[in-house]
Structure 1
Amino acid sequence: MINERRLIRAEPSFGLTTKLFQISWIYVLLICALAGVGYAALYSAAGGSPDPYASKQAIRFAFGLVMMLCVALVDIRIIERLAWPLYGVSLALLVLVLRVGHVGKGAQRWIEFGGTQLQPSELMKIALVVALAAWFHRATWERMGNPLFLIPPALMVAAPVLLILKEPNLGTAVITALIGGTIFLAAGVRWWKMALVVIPIPFAARVAYGYLHDYQKARIETFLNPESDPLGAGYNIQQSKIALGSGGMWGKGYLQGTQGKLNFLPEKQTDFIFTMLAEEFGFVGCLAVLGLLLLIVLGAMAIALRCRHQFGRLVALGIGVNFFLYVAVNIAMVTGAIPVGGVPLPLVSYGGSASLTVMFGFGLLMSVHVHRDVEFKDRRED
């Protein structure tokens, strides 16, 4: 592996004003535009009222925006040094949630702090990206060729995935595993080594099916045959498809969606908010929202490509992949392409933990962009 850090000739000098100018404000505007779409959708979900969804979401976004800009100003080398404490705290919270976590809708995923709820699995996805980036940032080709070198990061992925599955939260567990696999490949791990991990998955999934909760089995069976129980397990996805199709090309108009307005559409403020947008704004509106989401993903990839150090590249890639998987899983879920898994549409669906952790991730992304040319002290020989 080429030590690209030695190719950086000069150490940039950053003041607070300089860092503020270095922030990609166009990217920030894209994020604000997506949050605006979310506010409008939640306003409609409440029947044309800011309460109880849109107003709370706006406050969360305002807090998240300030947090994002503060994180963006933190030196990326400090973030690297904090990678392991962040991962440790996130892992401890995952263990804690299984003991004292709040139970809701058959799952134990939240910890209550003074009237607010935190979902540790959302924070863990960001912590995992930073921790894996820190691990592979110090790697050499010789170490990468040693299978023993890959055992610690493999355990770093496996531990949270197993804990998240135990909550249970299958959708987030799959996303966490995919994020870890993406970082492995981007860091230079050979395909055949990844195949050794991937090949046993179908056999493990067959065994794991026997341990799933009844509602999880029902989701899989409904996915395979949605018409088998249209008034029970298949109700959500059937109503979602009706809302998607009824919007047509241009939609029924803002605040005019009958599926959402008459409460036929389930969880319209969270998991199925995209179908409500489809009903009101039609196919054209869906394309516009998807285009905005795509620009945010491509922006993260561009930041990764422009960064001159391995740590920043892997962090930016991981944050971009996390956001992409949020979007891909949610839209595939509400269109019936995959089983319903309770994954929100970021910054559009109503929710606290997901929105704030996404904004924290964007703060890390902005820090990578601001500090894309900094030089790390080489500690590979330490």
Structure 2
Amino acid sequence: MTLAPPPEIVRVALGARSYDILVGHGALAALGERLSGLVKRPQAFVLTDETVMRLHKARLEAAVAGAGIALDWRAVPPGEQTKTFAQLEGVLDWLLAGGADRGDVLIAFGGGVIGDMGGLAASLMKRGMGFVQVPTTLLAQVDSSVGGKTAVNTPRGKNLVGAFYQPRLVIADTSLLETLPARELKAGYAEILKYGLINDAPFFAWLAQQGSRVLALEPDAAREAVARSCASKAAIVAQDETETGVRQLLNLGHTFGHALEAANGYGPDLLHGEAVALGMALAFRYGAELGVTPAADAAQVATVIEASGLPVTLAGRDRARFTAKRLAELMQQDKKARGGRVPLILARGIGAAYIHPDADLASIEAFLDRELLETIT
């Protein structure tokens, strides 16, 4: 039997608010010891969803048992539809009823929805209580659990109400991913591909060769992919915590992707990672149309994404909801859009993403019209 490599520690360097990310198969075992140094009393609050609670509650309880830490649990329904004001209010009421104060810690134990909403609740709770991320999806381990973005959705768009609020610790135990459906793993893998496309062409090339091992959750390959992704994001966050500059590069694929999700009503037939994968393919093709992205690179990106089982075209989408006009309107509602133009992350090639500050939405709408025409069968 091949032993899993020991957890790797990735540091997010933010001065007094710096924290560690522990990455690897079995990393959850370190939670009790780590948590003991963060709580002022032997208890913590755990926000999770009903699926994760059923699958992994016993593992989290065991991880803190040796430290003598009691856990107060709250489980909400799974899915993006949970990330609402109403659910946020319920979480805050649970914390208040449980006597939580600023010296306590809230553990977000779940995917991106739980991490986003839990982090926002922690930021609001008596103006800020401690917060630990234990992500249970690949997407959350490499993206949403790192960097302090917290939010809930509104009918007008995704993540429009939120705050920057850093966790005290992140534990990315890749063994927790073993219960994920293959589709969820692939959705998270889209965010891993993103880091290669932003500024690490050798990592993208490695993924093109080793992606099947990552998706099979082979311990060494999974640790390498997650740790390298976290390190990439940590380096960017350390330079630009509140997304006024270089951190915008992390939105590669997301401006298109968020519009696709909103057009789909955040329904389960288009997962966030799937929308991001499609959004990245669109961004590379749009860049090729503008003449800033080599067409060969755009084609290669689509090939690698598609080989991972992720979407690269709008084929098969409901034509009533997915229209170029509607998608452009939703991009106009992006929180960074101004006066008919939107900052868009494009690329001068694989590993060479840049901020295109004033993409013209009329031009994007025309591009999407052509994309839709090409996928009509």
Query: TM-score category by the smaller chain?
Result: under 0.3
Q: Which has the higher helix share?
A: 1
TM-score norm. by structure 2 comes to 0.24
TM-score norm. by structure 1 comes to 0.24
